[in-house]
Structure 1
Amino acid sequence: MQSTTLIYIVITVLCSLVIAFFQYFFKEKKQPKIVIALFILKALSLFLIGLLLINPKIDIVATQNIKPKLSVLIDNSLSTRFFKEEEKVKEILNIIVNNEELNKKYQISNFSFGNSIKVLDSLSFSETSTNISEAINSVDELVKNNKKATILITDGNQTSGNDYEFLMPKDKVFPIVLGDTTQYQDVQITQLNVNKYSYIKNKFPVEAFLLYEGKGAVSSVFTLSHNGKKIYSERIKLSSENPSKTITVNLTSKEKGLQYYQASITKLKKEKNTKNNYKSFSVEVIDEQTKVLLLSSIMHPDLGAIKKAIESNKQRKVTIEVIGNKQLNLKEYQFYVFYQPNFYFRRIFEEVSSNFLVITGTKTDWNLINSLNLGVKKNAINQFENYGAIYNDSFLTFMQDDIGFEEFPPLRDKFGKLRLSNETQILLYQKLNGINLTEPLITSLEKNDVKYAFIFGEGIWKWRSASYLKDKTFENFDTFISNIAQYLASNKKRKRLEVTSKSIYPANAIIQISAFYVDRNYKFDNRASLQLKITNSKTKEVKVLPFSLTNNAYQVSVEGLLAGDYMYQVSVENQNINKYGRFKISAYQIEEQFTNANSNKLQKLAKNSNGKLVYSNQVESLISNLLADKDYFTVQKSITTQKSLIDWKWILVLIASLLSIEWFVRKYYGKT
């Protein structure tokens, strides 16, 4: 208890006595015994009131023993099952968790990991990817201020994330190697690069990367097949000195629609794992040619960037024109890009009846756009602002991945409040001075069977440069612009039900299918009930699932489908509206591409952290090392807490009782 508290208590005692004395003894010559009792009751009640206000506390010091942390990370991916190590993992975990000496010294926490880390509940060995670096970094973040050790139970084969080989953990990591460490001969297709789209009777490139692991030289045959027919083959030779090879093949698009292909490489004589010898891919063949008019009111670097991006698809030809007195034959073009339109564009807008893209900026005449009834209006002032981008993952007008939009430089446009019609779908929202806005940066809309798109800001050439610096290629940016061009170039009328899905999925992946449904006024209808019906083309097995409403879209996730071809139907309950499609689940599983455990990388990780690598039959040795390790010890910590000396509830009851007794006695004896 602090000295000031004692002083307050003494003062309270004195004040209570003085007040009670003044009330009952001051100027009183005769003091009957009842007055003395009243004096005691008054003084005691006043003292308790003061004590209640002071609320004295004492410090209680307790000691706490803090054990070092021992985190056990268990690889829960398919590769563990592929190496048939499930029972071994459970046996290792059981030995560690039930070791009494280890539990006395360490506080043990168990985690499982695949692509992300989770507190261990159960082991399914069904994760479709392995991210070892993320698991180790997550444990480091979780246990920042405590001394800890980490046991990593894995085969060491990582399929996603940063390479853990170069991690420098702040605490020791003890890998336990699962699986066969014997080096087998193996040839595999590590990567396929192919365009998603092609035009009929045109060539499209297929780039395959092949890798050989093993000793000596081998020979194999690389093959491309379409609908079960061989369309290309090449004999290749690989060796330990030249273990990789890149093959580029130009295929011809002969059939319209979604086409499936398979790349394969023949099995070696002593090859153990052949699941990585095959990979499937798809190409959508489009039967149309596109001519694009890029019409501008000014010369700007954006024009060149847009032209290059659109023409990255060889079936598109862009013509750049500056608005003026020159007569333009607008009927020659399938769609148009209007760059910073001014009042000279009025005639052009009146003549154009097909789809177009409008890009605004500092030279845009917003009075013109506001008068055209395009579904977009802006109260623009002659002041400029820089607008960053926020990706909208609920955008379903066409498929567009996030290519790092938020990292791109801002676009510049006139400042003002945007007003949109209900038919708009926003791809990117605006960010102004670090604040996320609900106004669009890029949006699309459809009206009277005509499709428009707007980019609200100039400077998109900087996006192309930033995309190249980030990815070392223009492909992602060019694909983004090409997606907009593809959407606008299509003359298909908008349908009330649009479905978004991929054409091919890897084995064991979660299949996400999204749908966008509108009413007869082409406004999003959140009252509908949508259903997905999936049919296996070979077995005719049917699976029916309902869609769930997420934001402004309907979505469904499908798991547990076997490899093969599937057809699907999306239907709207009580409406004669259906959408059909198909997709393929490839047999290729990235977790099954390895032939042996990667003990070399795990050894480097152990070395970088001053830990030690052991094999699955050396768990007892590892436990002995952990018990003998003097770097890990229990820390005794003193914890000081304050506890109140009084219970205010009982004090209040006592005060009320004393005051009541005093009042009753005074009244009974006629004391005022």
Structure 2
Amino acid sequence: MQTETIVLIIIAFIIALMIALFQYLYKAKNRKKNLLFFAFLRFLSVFALLLLLINPTFKQKKYFTQKPTLAVAIDNSSSIKHLGQDQAITSFAKRMEENDDLNDRFSVVYYSFSSELKDSLEYSFDKKQTNISKVLDDLNQIYKNTIAPVVIVTDGNQTYGKDYQYSSVGYEQNVFPVISGDTTAVLDTKIQQLNVNRYAYLKNKFPVEVILNYSGDDNVNTRFVVQSGNSTLYSQPVSFSFQDNSKVINFTLPASTPGVVQYTARLESLANEKNTINNNKAFAVEIIDQKTNVLLISDIVHPDLGAIKKSVESNERRNITIRPPQEARDINLDDYQLVILYQPNSRFREFYEKLKTLRKNYFTITGSKTDWYFLNKIQNKYSQEITRQTEYYLPRFNTNYGAFLLDNIGFEDYPPLIGTFGEVDFNSNYDPLLYRTISGIETDDPLLVTIEDDGIREAVLFGDGLWRWRAQNYLDTKNFIDFDDFFGKLIQYLASNKRKSRLNTISESFYYGNASIKVNAEYFTKNYEFDRRATLRITVKNKDTEVTQTIPMILKNNTYEVDLSSITAGNYDYTVTVAGENISRSGSFTVLEYNVEQQYLNADVTKLKQLATNTNGKSFYIDQIDSLIENLSKDQRYQAIQKSKENVVSLIDWKYLLAIVILLLAVEWFARKYNGLI
């Protein structure tokens, strides 16, 4: 308590005492014995009121015991049920919850997991993917800088993600894997992996790579077959032995029919083989009868050219040709769906004239080497102020962009482009995709725009340095997917002559059964501004069973989305409609039968034991719960810690003092009333 507060309390004591003595002793005509009692009551009530006004504070220290945390993570993937361990794991979790010794020693927190960590127990055992490495990383973040051993109950079979056998090295918490599933090695042949491109071109052949595995001691012979419908397209005999237990087969298949073609790869099962599900794998290829050809004309050598080429050709359905103006004069522009004009100058004159005559779509990229005197004269849709100075432009995404469906890939964190300093005036309607941010100031000046005029589509980028954006995307995500997808959608929009629609949908032509099945849609007002108020529904029809279901689409960022991952394998048609509007869009897709969780026959004991070794834990089997509990209870690394907590408490928060004041005044009043002093 501060010295100033103590002085105020002494003064309050004196004031209360003086008031009591003045009223009951100094002013009293007859000094009765009970006046001292009345003076004492008045002194207490006045002193208490003054204390409330002073409101002194006190430090209050509380001691408590903090138990170590025990995180119990239960595998909820479908491989648990496939291996017949669902009942055993449910029983294990209940025994953990009901064990008094464990709850006395630890603060136990339960999780379930598959591809992601959930902060609640779930025993559906129907999840299609497992990522143990991500689960361990999430737990490591939750219990960072604390002692929290982890009990993970799983079969150890991971379908994607980093290999936890190696990524767990250096993990901060001790992990105690509880192994569920059959650990007995049995005879098994399986298709370990099948690699094939999603797209192929009509009348070509596409490559397929298959990895086959065998577990067993005997020499066996079988056959690998690929079929499409009732036709066998490829067949090869395969032999395995204990030493030679893996085969890699490379072959090609003909692309003879356009559209999505489904195939079935099958490794003929052995007579005494227990698991035959992993002997079959369905896959599909979309066979297209045309390719988008892009021509890029540039009079300079620049890193952007390589970045553009890589992005365009990241999709096998597109091809790009790069030529200088003098070599491009003899090229027939009708052979290309899109022309990119990179930093044009006077040598580009005949190309602008041809594009105008042929009514072709084109993409103009300007920058520090652009001849704006020429560009301002050759076209009349926009003009740049001539300053002969350059400026750095940071991108800012336009969330209301309405020409086609596009996501913000983190443009605000991308490096600047180099463009010409000065204002740009537009003489036609344009749709800005990116705005300029200059020296930290957000402006409404466009950096990337699309223009659709009289059925011709054009895009203009007012800066060079795209290669830095692609490199930044790799630094952020360790791949180029986001940037290539952004650039690919822009190329797809410019290469198409379809009219702008208020409702756009995006879906894959086919999905694998173990992947998430999502359909996206975007809806715009009549002014082509994104409409967040709309109600969109999707009607999905299974063409094989005629079963139809209608599902509302959920607004997510700047798109409407629906997750159809729960539907079964088959061929589907879908229609997206807007409530209250006579507008709809339809499409179709195929879901291929495949459940990666059913490809496993045993628990992965080796990896789980290595996980325990890497983290200084210990592995147990599902029927060793008593040993696990005893080991955790006696482990001296996990001790309860006594901690103290100091709180600063104000006297005004002590409600009983106000009650005492009221009681003292009431007693004084009744006593005076009883003695005839009132």
| TM-score bracket for this pair, using the shorter chain length | 0.7 to 0.9
CA distance in 2, matches of 1:376, 1:595: 67
Does the Cα contact within 8 Å between 1:191 and 1:210 map onto a contact in 2? yes
Asked if 1:336 is matched to 2:339, the reply is yes
Residues 203, 346 of structure 1: CA spacing in aligned structure 2 closer, same or farther, 3 A cutoff? same
* Residue from 180, 183, 190 that aligns with 2:182: 180
Displacement of 1:472 after TM fit? 9.4
SS of the residue 2:324 aligns to: strand
CA distance in 1, matches of 2:545, 2:282: 20
Does the Cα contact within 8 Å between 1:508 and 1:560 map onto a contact in 2? no
Asked if 1:540 is matched to 2:542, the reply is no
Give TM-score, length-normalised by structure 2: 0.80
Q: Which residue of 2 aligns with 1:273?
A: 275
Displacement of 1:512 after TM fit? 1.4
1:204-245 Cα distance to aligned partner (Å, 9 max, x none): 333334344444554443333334422223333445545444
Does the Cα contact within 8 Å between 2:365 and 2:463 map onto a contact in 1? yes
Consecutive unaligned residues of structure 2, counting only runs of 5 or more, are: 670-678
Asked if 1:632 is matched to 2:634, the reply is no
CA distance in 1, matches of 2:618, 2:491: 56
Residues 376, 10 of structure 1: CA spacing in aligned structure 2 closer, same or farther, 3 A cutoff? farther
SS of the residue 2:586 aligns to: strand
SS of the residue 2:389 aligns to: strand
Asked if 1:318 is matched to 2:321, the reply is yes
Q: Which residue of 1 aligns with 2:364?
A: 358
SS of the residue 2:253 aligns to: strand
1:58-78 Cα distance to aligned partner (Å, 9 max, x none): 333332121121111100111
Displacement of 1:392 after TM fit? 8.0
Asked if 1:132 is matched to 2:93, the reply is no
Asked if 1:170 is matched to 2:172, the reply is yes
Displacement of 1:347 after TM fit? 6.4
Displacement of 1:200 after TM fit? 2.2
SS of the residue 1:148 aligns to: coil
CA distance in 2, matches of 1:151, 1:349: 68
Q: Which moved more, 1:573-582 or 1:228-237?
A: 573-582
CA distance in 1, matches of 2:223, 2:408: 35
1:567-602 Cα distance to aligned partner (Å, 9 max, x none): 223345566644332222222112122111011111
Q: Which residue of 2 aligns with 1:100?
A: 100
SS of the residue 2:301 aligns to: coil
Displacement of 1:375 after TM fit? 8.3
Does the Cα contact within 8 Å between 1:396 and 1:500 map onto a contact in 2? no
Displacement of 1:434 after TM fit? 8.9
Residues 224, 455 of structure 1: CA spacing in aligned structure 2 closer, same or farther, 3 A cutoff? farther
Q: Which residue of 2 aligns with 1:511?
A: 517
1:481-533 Cα distance to aligned partner (Å, 9 max, x none): 55544443334444444321122223265421112344666555556554322
Residues 128, 457 of structure 1: CA spacing in aligned structure 2 closer, same or farther, 3 A cutoff? farther
CA distance in 1, matches of 2:530, 2:144: 47
Residues 493, 13 of structure 1: CA spacing in aligned structure 2 closer, same or farther, 3 A cutoff? closer
Q: Which residue of 2 aligns with 1:669?
A: none
Give TM-score, length-normalised by structure 1: 0.81
Displacement of 1:178 after TM fit? 0.8
Does the Cα contact within 8 Å between 2:385 and 2:422 map onto a contact in 1? yes
Q: Which residue of 2 aligns with 1:201?
A: 203
* Residue from 584, 603, 613 that aligns with 1:607: 613
Does the Cα contact within 8 Å between 1:150 and 1:172 map onto a contact in 2? yes
CA RMSD of aligned residues (A): 4.7
Asked if 1:582 is matched to 2:588, the reply is yes
Counterparts of residues 104-123 of structure 1 (less than 5 Å): 104-123=104-123
Consecutive unaligned residues of structure 1, counting only runs of 5 or more, are: 25-29, 663-672
Residues 502, 444 of structure 1: CA spacing in aligned structure 2 closer, same or farther, 3 A cutoff? farther
Q: Which residue of 1 aligns with 2:673?
A: none
Aligned residue pairs total 654
CA distance in 1, matches of 2:376, 2:266: 54
Q: Which moved more, 1:321-330 or 1:584-593?
A: 321-330
Q: Which residue of 1 aligns with 2:66?
A: 66
Does the Cα contact within 8 Å between 1:295 and 1:323 map onto a contact in 2? no
CA distance in 1, matches of 2:442, 2:72: 40
Q: Which amino acid aligns with 2:319?
A: R
Q: Which moved more, 1:529-538 or 1:388-397?
A: 388-397
CA distance in 2, matches of 1:293, 1:465: 23
1:35-62 Cα distance to aligned partner (Å, 9 max, x none): 9999999988885565334322333333
SS of the residue 1:95 aligns to: helix
Displacement of 1:625 after TM fit? 1.6
Displacement of 1:91 after TM fit? 0.6
1:174-223 Cα distance to aligned partner (Å, 9 max, x none): 11111111223434334443333333223333333434444455444333
Q: Which amino acid aligns with 2:596?
A: I
Residues 464, 178 of structure 1: CA spacing in aligned structure 2 closer, same or farther, 3 A cutoff? same
Q: Which amino acid aligns with 1:94?
A: K
Q: Which residue of 2 aligns with 1:665?
A: none
Q: Which residue of 1 aligns with 2:191?
A: 189
